Structure 1
Amino acid sequence: MTSERTGILGGRFDPVHLGHIATAALARRELALDRVLLLPSGPSPHRAALARAADTDRLEMTRLTAETVSWLDVEDAEIRSAEPSYTSVTLGKLAEAGHQPTRLFFIVGADAFADIATWHDYPAVFDRAHFAVVSRPGHPVDALRRRLPTLATRMRVATPVHAPALAIHLLDAETPAISSTAIRVRLQAGQSVDDLVPEPVAAYISTHGLYRAPSGE
């Protein structure tokens, strides 16, 4: 069983960008994490208006990103699963693989966390890991105490001091306002995204012709 303090940052990563790395770095710094796992989500059942990358490409771009940062790694449990992915189930699988819940920190934006009551296996999901909630533009973590009063007693300002009891850690700091959707829009318009994604990801997108507008447009 691992004793490492491990963060988990999930997302479609379509594509992974510098904002994701900044969020992971913030959580690592504020919570004294040993490493952060990037968790690409499973296939989306919804048709997208903009071109999207295949799951194999999303996974490879995530791996290329992890190779650029010593404390990043990739967890592919969700993207390789044929079943719908739920945070609670994924955290349970990590526990079975030897991760202690009190050493796991699930990193999520305040905008997504505001709807936590709609998540699968709520509120038991809080027994699976700590939650590290990061402010997002227009969604400060301070507002969560008012929006989710039943969870207020679990919330605490993020600190690197070890917390034996599972908690909701609030990280009130700015991270770059970058979105994968905006990146896909720029790429479809033939614009550069070199300032928004890691260098190897930009090279991969260019080499494989990802996110281009369909021919004829």
Structure 2
Amino acid sequence: MDIKVQPMGDYQTNCYIVTIDDKDIIIDPGVDAARWIKQNVTNPVAVLNTHGHFDHVWSNTEVKNEYNVKLYTPKDDCFLLTTDPYGLGMPSSIADIEVEPDQEFEIAGVKIKFHHFPGHTPGCSAIQINEHLFTGDFIFKGTIGRFDFPMSNAAQMKQSINKILSWENTNFHIYPGHGDKTTLIAELDSLAQWERYIIL
């Protein structure tokens, strides 16, 4: 398994290419991601979104049309793909697969699970591939995603933190939507502090 990462756009949003058995899975193709993706894939099989914010989905349509692959987006965030709520001229896209909370898939022989962790957005999810979690804007190294945006929800963020803190298996590598990679074990104390900090 090979994981490539490239920060994209003004917000340095991480776009990932996960290659397993010569199959490329593209995660969060943000602003101007298509050129880098083209230079680094040979056999794309899917595009996955961790959530619907513009800096993670900007190049969805361009990439999925280029390679004729399906786009998987958390169901509760699909409305963000077409509304351009921040008025930035984001190209619209339409999910081929509207992912239900905690839904599992097998894509070209690769097992994938979307763990639903709402709070940053209604559909915010961490995508599990083997022992790797692509957490979007849920967990970063040393902190968590913002929950003060118009479509964020502090109560849901608190519940999401409690959910992942309850996992028996914490042996996951974390690849966030911004910044450096980390591990779930390394973030447990930070997550517990944030859970206590969020007062409803």
TM-score range, shorter chain: 0.3 to 0.5
Q: Which has the higher helix share?
A: 1
Q: Which has the higher contact order (CA 8 A, sep 6+)?
A: 1
TM normalised by structure 1 equals 0.32
TM-score normalized by the length of structure 2: 0.34
Flag the structure with higher strand content.
2
Max Rg structure: 1
